[in-house]
């Protein structure tokens, strides 16, 4: 085990007849001194063996693992705040943490972690519903030098104030994911677009942010300031293809210098397709490679026969229309359009 650099327990399951002792993590870390990446994610199995009692064993043994750089505790639902606070003593040199849906993540725990682990480059706090602006202020204060990726999707208590602080102080930020943050408004996005961070942003997730209207002025500002942005996610309502300034919207998308992927969420049934067909040819000055459209269930999903495949329905977004668009224009310089069923619905 001395040569092991990465361990992933996300698919390990306990059974009625075989369970792991509380010392399993201690034994693993003691025998893997070169371990660089540890994934304890419970996304697939709920990881019932990732408990605070396991980490108390590390405390009792006074264990420190200075080599570990990447820690994934996503979807671990039996982790407590005291354990997260003690984690910094076990792993003082972390550069990446994934706390997506991790229980026990509070402003206090987060503040202590970023204070002691100021080399953090990647922080994922998606769906950590106890995190507020206070926790994010600590991130902006202590991670200003090294932070490259911040994911706070689905955090309903985060507001413009803390997002502005991150944009102002974390000058190396390359990826910002704030989807489903319903307290964030256009004001924060305009500030981000005008900050120096905009010039190095490569990915930006904004879908299902109900208070970000994403009007034409904001879209134009992003296209002019985000020179190397290559991936952008939006909600269908934010770029409603029926609005009057459609041509100007298309021009704004054309002005993006490096945009390669656009993802649109919440595409309703009978949505007009022509805007997306034009976007496939014109987006980012012809440099756009992929348009991913995410929809819920359509009535036509349950209708068989000629109706579901009729040519006149090419004017609306359907699976058949998307397939025909890609096939008929094969070889042309255009983006590929994909249509997915979004598991959000």
- pTM exceeding the 0.85 threshold for the entire prediction: yes
Distance in angstroms (rounded) separating the CA atoms of residues 238 and 178: 15
| Of 85, 114, 75, 91, the residue nearest 38 (C-alpha) | 91
Helix (H, G, I), strand (E, B) or coil at 295: strand
Instruction: Say how many CA atoms lie within 13 Å of 98 toward its Cβ.
Output: 14
Write out residues in the chain with pLDDT < 70, as ranges: 1-2, 14, 16-18, 47, 241-244, 300-314, 330-331, 344-345
Burial tier of 141 (Cβ tally within 10 Å: 0-12, 13-18, 19+) = middle
| Residues ≥6 apart with Cβ < 8 Å to 268 | 236, 295, 296
The secondary structure of residue 239, as a DSSP letter, is G
Q: What is the pLDDT of residue 50?
A: 83
| Model confidence pLDDT, tens digit, residues 32-46 | 999 999 999 988 777
Q: Residue 171: which of 151, 190, 193, 199 has the closest Cα?
A: 199
Tally Cβ neighbours within 10 Å of residue 333: 10
On whether the CB atoms of residues 215 and 242 are closer than 8 A, the answer is no
pLDDT of amino acid 313: 46
- The whole-angstrom separation of Cα 223 and Cα 216 is 11
Domain boundaries of the chain, sorted by first residue: 29-212
First to last CA, the chain: 44
Structure tokens at 344: 């959000």
Q: What share of the chain in percent tops pLDDT 70?
A: 91
For domain 29-212, which architecture applies?
Alpha-Beta Horseshoe (3.80)
Q: What pLDDT is stored for residue 345 in this prediction?
A: 54
């Amino acid at each position: 085990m001395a040569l092991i650099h990465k361990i992933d327990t996300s698919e390990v399951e306990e059974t009625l007849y075989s369970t792991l002792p509380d010392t399993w993590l201690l034994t693993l870390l003691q025998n893997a001194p070169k371990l660089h990446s540890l994934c304890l994610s419970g996304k697939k199995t709920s990881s019932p063996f990732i408990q605070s009692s396991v980490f108390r064993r590390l405390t009792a043994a006074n264990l420190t693992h200075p080599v570990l750089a990447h820690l994934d505790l996503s979807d671990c639902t039996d982790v407590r705040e005291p354990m997260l606070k003690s984690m910094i003593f076990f792993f003082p040199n972390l550069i990446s943490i994934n706390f997506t849906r991790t229980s026990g993540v509070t402003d206090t725990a987060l503040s202590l972690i970023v204070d002691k682990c100021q080399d953090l480059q990647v922080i994922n706090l998606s769906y950590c519903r106890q995190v507020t602006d206070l926790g994010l202020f600590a991130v902006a204060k202590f991670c200003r030098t090294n932070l490259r990726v911040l994911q706070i999707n689905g955090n309903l208590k985060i507001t413009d104030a803390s997002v502005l602080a991150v944009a102002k102080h974390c000058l190396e930020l390359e990826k910002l994911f704030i989807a489903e943050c319903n307290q964030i408004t256009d004001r924060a996005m305009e500030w981000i677009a005008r900050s120096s961070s905009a010039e190095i942003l490569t990915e930006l997730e904004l879908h299902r942010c109900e208070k970000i209207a994403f009007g034409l002025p904001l879209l134009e500002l992003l296209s002019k300031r985000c020179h190397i942005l290559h991936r952008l996610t939006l909600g269908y309502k934010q770029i409603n293809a029926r609005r009057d300034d459609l041509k100007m919207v298309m021009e704004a998308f054309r002005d993006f210098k490096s945009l390669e992927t656009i993802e649109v969420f919440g595409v309703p049934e009978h949505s007009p397709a022509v805007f997306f067909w034009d976007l496939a040819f014109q987006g980012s000055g012809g440099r756009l490679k992929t348009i991913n459209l995410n929809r819920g269930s359509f009535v036509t999903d349950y209708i068989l026969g000629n109706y579901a495949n009729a040519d006149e329905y090419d004017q609306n977004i359907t699976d058949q229309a998307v397939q025909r668009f890609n096939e008929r224009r094969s070889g042309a310089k255009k983006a590929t359009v994909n249509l997915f069923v979004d598991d959000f619905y």
